[in-house]
Amino acid sequence: MYINVIGAGLAGCEAAMQIAKRGIQVRLYEMKPCKKSPAHKSDLFAELVCSNSLKAMRVESAAGLLKEEMRRLDSFLMKCADRCRVPAGGALAVDRDSFASLATEGIRSNPNITVIEDEITQIPDDAVTVIATGPLTADALASDIENRFGDSLSFFDAAAPIVTAESIDMENAFTASRYDRGGDDDYINCPMNKEEYEQFYDALLHAERAPLHDFDVNNPKVYEGCMPVEVLAQRGEGTLRFGPMKPVGLTNPKTGHRAWALLQLRKENSAGTLYNLVGFQTNLKFPEQKRVFSLIPALKNAEFVRYGVMHRNTFLCSPKILTGYYSVKEKSTLFFAGQITGVEGYMESAASGIMAGINAARQLEGKEMLILPGNTMIGALSRYISDPSVKKFQPMGANLGILPELEKRPKDKRERAAAYAYRALDSLEKFLKETGE
């Protein structure tokens, strides 16, 4: 018996190791060195293509909590990262070449893993399979995935920011649906008067944009509906007021009047702890997004858990097709892991690989598959990517906003983060003891 793992990036390496340590043979397919994606340069596995930072170390943070949970799940890549750390203040940063070399050595030396240097162009049907081919999945395999799942595979050129519900200034906002269609709390509306809008519009026009890679600019498969808001603004001052910021159909109950312009926020998760800036896809630099979008009165203190991005990205509309086990709803022997599932970030991808690997092994062995408790960061991410209430699915990284609310919520931000973390780790330890993992 064996399990296929497609792709030797962060998620694929973690999945392969989780399967192998359970005594199951792994066939790990990797198209390097024969072929590389436009973003990859090295022949090594687990290549870090952007920053060498794995984000905050402090457990009392979303990124730190995620990594601590991974350690307790016997993460292979966390062991590699800890061995090749470089000074980075409160962050965990690594020597990228040493990190990839350690990962490659560990994979290639494992007696239960057979590395096959070949490009997979179709989803295998010969065994339980984990697909971890990343956001730049090669065209042939991407086409096969798209053929199998219809429009559930997205190639987008821009995505909108996401903010926490608690950071929205409701004194400057109101809940309502346009023309009273839908529930009263379906949207949070952020009105602006003429002066406020003109100030915002001018800042948006002159804000600095992030540079694009050639493979982003030349991506032929993008949606017109994802036009960045700053590009729309260039078409004229009224474009946004007749587009994503149109105020028609909405009367502010606090004033009895219609606003000059209005931004709508839509729930990003079923718990209502996160909100998406509707129609605000953007390619502005992250500090510029914070500066410009905070000019909207209701967002003056907004906490951004995900900034808007613009690049080629291949990801599944996971709520339609994946379970919280990272398996396909209609084919329990097929799993996806990594950024193709809609988790975003190095360690988020690796964590999804851990869970896909564990569940692929358990599926083969006829055991019940696992979802970690929802109050853990890894469990919350698996629930987010499989939450059917998420209608406009966008990739998501680790953040405290996706965790269930605390029973007793400290007012101090640091104390609150610590409470989330300690609750998660306690819950994880109990879960691991109960399941024998």
pLDDT, tens digit (0-9, with 9 covering 90-100), for 139-185: 899 889 989 987 666 555 467 899 999 999 999 999 988 877 666 67
Instruction: For residues 167 and 183, state if they share a domain.
Output: yes
Instruction: For residues 247 and 272, state if they share a domain.
Output: yes
State how many domains the chain has.
2
Instruction: For residues 190 and 129, state if they share a domain.
Output: no
Instruction: For residues 128 and 179, state if they share a domain.
Output: no
Q: How many CA atoms lie within 13 A of 130 on its CB side?
A: 39
User: 136: domain CATH number?
Assistant: 3.50.50.60
Instruction: For residues 6 and 145, state if they share a domain.
Output: yes
Residue 406: CB atoms within 10 A of its CB come to: 13
Instruction: For residues 281 and 317, state if they share a domain.
Output: no
Q: What element of type H or E holds 304? A: strand 304-306
| Final residue before a domain boundary, out of 242, 277, 306 | 306
Instruction: For residues 206 and 63, state if they share a domain.
Output: no
Residue 234: what pLDDT?
92
| Final residue before a domain boundary, out of 241, 271, 306 | 306
Instruction: For residues 268 and 169, state if they share a domain.
Output: yes
Residue 389: what pLDDT?
87
Residue 39: what pLDDT?
61
Instruction: For residues 152 and 298, state if they share a domain.
Output: no
Rounded distance between C-alpha atoms, residue 116 and residue 26, angstroms: 10
pLDDT averaged per 10 residues in sequence order, the chain, 437 residues:
96 98 97 75 84 87 97 98 84 88 97 96 96 88 88 62 94 87 77 97 94 52 63 91 92 92 86 87 93 97 88 82 97 96 93 98 97 98 93 86 91 92 98 94
Residue 152: what pLDDT?
62
Rounded distance between C-alpha atoms, residue 15 and residue 6, angstroms: 10
User: 236: domain CATH number?
Assistant: 2.40.30
Instruction: For residues 276 and 391, state if they share a domain.
Output: no
Instruction: For residues 138 and 20, state if they share a domain.
Output: yes
> What residues have CB less than 8 Å from 44, skipping those under 6 apart?
32, 97, 100, 101, 103, 104
Residue 223: what pLDDT?
44
Helix (H, G, I), strand (E, B) or coil at 164: strand
Instruction: For residues 243 and 356, state if they share a domain.
Output: no
| Final residue before a domain boundary, out of 280, 306, 332 | 306
The parent domain of residue 260 ranges over 162-306
